[in-house]
Structure 1
Amino acid sequence: MPAPIEEGSNTPGRQSPGHHIELVDDHPSPRHEGEAGSPALRDSKGWDGKLRVPKSAVLTNPEALSDPEYSDDDNVVPGEEVAADEDLLDNEPLDTDEIICTHSRIQSISALRLERFKQVARICLRQNLIQDIEGLAAVAETLQDLDLYDNLISHIGRGLTDLTNLTSLDLSFNKIKHIKHINHLTNLTDLFFVSNKISRIEGLEGLDKLRNLELGSNRIRELQNLDSLKNLEELWVAKNKITELTGLGGLPKLRLLSIQSNRIRDLSPLREVPQLEELYISHNALESLEGLENNTKLRVLDISNNKIASLKGIGPLEELEELWASYNMVGDFAEVERELKDKKNLTTVYFEGNPLQLRAPALYRNKVRLALPQVQQIDATFVRV
């Protein structure tokens, strides 16, 4: 099965471990009025605080509804007291190797007094109000994983200077415009910048151990400045503004490319990465699969939601295991059989939303089974043996 879906996509892709995001929809719909847990108030006047009271309610202080100046200071319910940042970790064992403090309205990392924790290897401060990366030098010797996902960071600054033992850094869902001050982190294997405001790939020289780079949901127009990443295995750049697949030739170990929801028309530059095993390129502007002939190592290919009418070009991909081709313009069962029948490892195909499915939906699955007897899954349904 394909890896989990990447941020900002509803087709195969993936999330970083323990990360983000949502499997099929990166913009969940807000709860509609009338759904469970919410009163069915469709009139704007219903939010004035009075009409929300059921008519059957029995109130001990009915004057609260009729007197706009009503006040009952003697019965005020005290609000929840929110601890200051410096008190949040007081109950944490000093020998802990992991600090997780999410959604706690933290504004200052320095105020957490992290120097108390001499063995901490992972710090996760997701969904807080942090604007500056600071106060981490005291844990630099042991810290390996830093997760500042979903904060208010706009500049990386010098706060990472001493953290040379980091292997994983997640700055996703912030307001970062430029990749700076990280190329000294030479032990990094995983780097996440999902959903920022980055328009240019830069500042990665020296990250010789980097295996996984996630830059989805940014403003990137070009794949560039990647040649130094000789050990990079996975590149995630979905939901950007990329028009060409150039710039990958210097990545000899790249095995997975997720470039969904971009503006790609031509696959031929992928000849520079013949070792590629997984390609997720749904929601682009593809009209042809020509150009894939040299990518004979591909096992997973996602071309959903394009304008592809022919499977020509897929023939040489003898190791193909999964083909996701939903919502294209494929209409010829004979061509499907001709191009795919010899793929002995092919277990999964998706063709829903294509003319060959829409023209005769009742016969579609049986026709695919006859054309591709080795397949075990057609769309979301497993084939009965």
Structure 2
Amino acid sequence: MTERDQGQDPAPPSNPHNEVDGSEEDKHAHIELPPAESTKQQSPSSAPLVNSNGWDGKLRMPPRNAVLSNPEVLSDPDYSDPDAPPVEQIEADEDLLDDYPPDSEDVDLVHCRISSIPALRLERFTKLKRLCLRQNAITSILLPETLGETLEELDFYDNLISHLKGLEDMKCLKSLDMSFNKIKHIKHVDHLHTLTELYFVQNRISKIENLEGLSNLTMIELAANRLREIENLDTLTRLEELWLGKNKITEIRNLSPLRNLRLLDLKSNRLTSIGGLSDLTNLEELYVSHNAISSIPADALSNNKKLRVLDISNNQISHLENISHLTELEELWASSNQLSDFREVENELRDKENLETVYFEMNPLQLQGPAVYRNKVRLALPQVKQIDATYVKV
């Protein structure tokens, strides 16, 4: 059926200057833009304002097409156009540091649109201990060798760095933050023997590797990457905090050497069970929310008697069980599961003298009787001071 058969004016001839030939059409995305609707409302009782030819006085435009020359931006979050105009940048020269005396121990240049480290002339700071270059446009780590004798904290959070070259001389470094960059591989850091804190949040890392020399590391954060397996952590025997949330990990494994681990974060992964924790006898905080865990096996937490915080929320757990031995428990987060029995809550938790906070909202035991839910929790657990997000009135 033609446009004329449908009661619409035919579209005007296309402009030959706007046509895209067959060779170019595959490189472009076409988006049809609907015609603008009239905002004027017509009274139901009024006669339609049309002439004898059926024209109602509105300008009818033919469908329009928008052509995107870079359709990848719609589907690829990592896409970048090499021909796009550069982001406006402030010259990263010594003027930015005029207010810092040469004996400064702390330099903080956040969100200054810096793209060149050498132009900052950092070698003038002979006592520099902390350098923060967050939220800039830095692509390469080009630090003067002289900083290696004094620098202890280095922060490149939210830049454009894709490779970890340039840290060879940082022999005193204790903290390194490379979060929110474009790093795909962990390399060129295993010589940083004094490092105690390492941050790689929100990068493109798919494998834990090349950390063998970091024997003094106490905290590593690898959340929001592309990890599928916990591996190559054997030499990090002093590690106390391991943050692995928002990855693609399917199994808790290879953690036995980490006897000093106090905190383990595995939320938002692909776990279906809790296990592999029997050797972590010093574990105090465990976060496994937003996974696909259906139960807590009898031996899952049997050796983790120092647990103070347990977060199992947003899973598929139907029975609260096998946690009665956790006498040090202070917080239990179990919202958005399939828990339905208040007797299990009382049996597992009533004798926990240190328990102050519990979350059970969005479980059947709350949804089936929301009006009496809080009172039932208080009766079952009289020691708690906070139920979900609300403090208990004394």
- TM-score class, shorter-chain normalisation, is 0.7 to 0.9
Question: Quick check: 173-182 or 80-89, which moved more?
Answer: 80-89
- 1:1-385 to structure 2, matched below 5 A, reads 82-157=90-165, 159-290=166-297, 291-385=300-394
- Equivalent in the alignment of 1:73: none
Q: Counterparts of 1:196 and 1:305 in 2: how far apart (Å)?
A: 25
Q: Counterparts of 2:306 and 2:293 in 1: how far apart (Å)?
A: 21
Q: Counterparts of 2:114 and 2:302 in 1: how far apart (Å)?
A: 52
Q: Deviations over 1:264-322 (max 9, x none)?
A: 11212111312211001100110001112222111100011000111111111111110
Q: Deviations over 1:9-32 (max 9, x none)?
A: xxxxxxxxxxxxxxxxxxxxxxxx
The one of the two structures with greater contact order (alpha-carbon pairs below 8 A, sep at least 6) is 1
Q: How many Å apart are 1:81 and its aligned residue?
A: 9.9
Question: CA-atom RMSD, angstroms?
Answer: 1.5
**1:136–1:160 Cα contact (<8 Å) kept:** no
> Tell me, what secondary structure is at the counterpart of 2:176?
strand
Query: Normalized against structure 2, the TM-score is what?
Result: 0.76
Q: Deviations over 1:82-101 (max 9, x none)?
A: 44434321232111111011
**1:356–1:364 Cα contact (<8 Å) kept:** yes
Number of positions where the alignment pairs a residue of Structure 1 with one of Structure 2: 307
Paired amino acid for 2:145:
A
> Tell me, what secondary structure is at the counterpart of 1:368?
helix
**2:162–2:184 Cα contact (<8 Å) kept:** yes
**2:89–2:115 Cα contact (<8 Å) kept:** no
Structure label with greater radius of gyration = 2
Q: Counterparts of 2:94 and 2:113 in 1: how far apart (Å)?
A: 12
Misfit runs of 4+, over 6 Å: none
**1:109–1:136 Cα contact (<8 Å) kept:** no
> Tell me, what secondary structure is at the counterpart of 2:378?
helix
- Equivalent in the alignment of 2:67: none
**1:219–1:240 Cα contact (<8 Å) kept:** yes
Q: How many Å apart are 1:137 and its aligned residue?
A: 1.6
Q: How many Å apart are 1:344 and its aligned residue?
A: 1.3
CA 166–363 in structure 1, closer or farther in 2 if over 3 Å, else same: same
Q: Counterparts of 1:313 and 1:92 in 2: how far apart (Å)?
A: 58
Q: Counterparts of 2:139 and 2:219 in 1: how far apart (Å)?
A: 25
> Tell me, what secondary structure is at the counterpart of 1:271?
coil
Paired amino acid for 1:327:
S
CA 314–86 in structure 1, closer or farther in 2 if over 3 Å, else same: same
> Tell me, what secondary structure is at the counterpart of 2:232?
coil
Paired amino acid for 2:351:
D
Q: How many Å apart are 1:323 and its aligned residue?
A: 0.1
Q: Counterparts of 1:121 and 1:362 in 2: how far apart (Å)?
A: 57
CA 83–133 in structure 1, closer or farther in 2 if over 3 Å, else same: closer
> Tell me, what secondary structure is at the counterpart of 1:336?
helix
Consecutive unaligned residues in structure 1, runs of 5 or more: 1-42, 44-79
Q: Deviations over 1:191-244 (max 9, x none)?
A: 000000000001111111110100000000000000100100000000000001
Query: Normalized against structure 1, the TM-score is what?
Result: 0.78
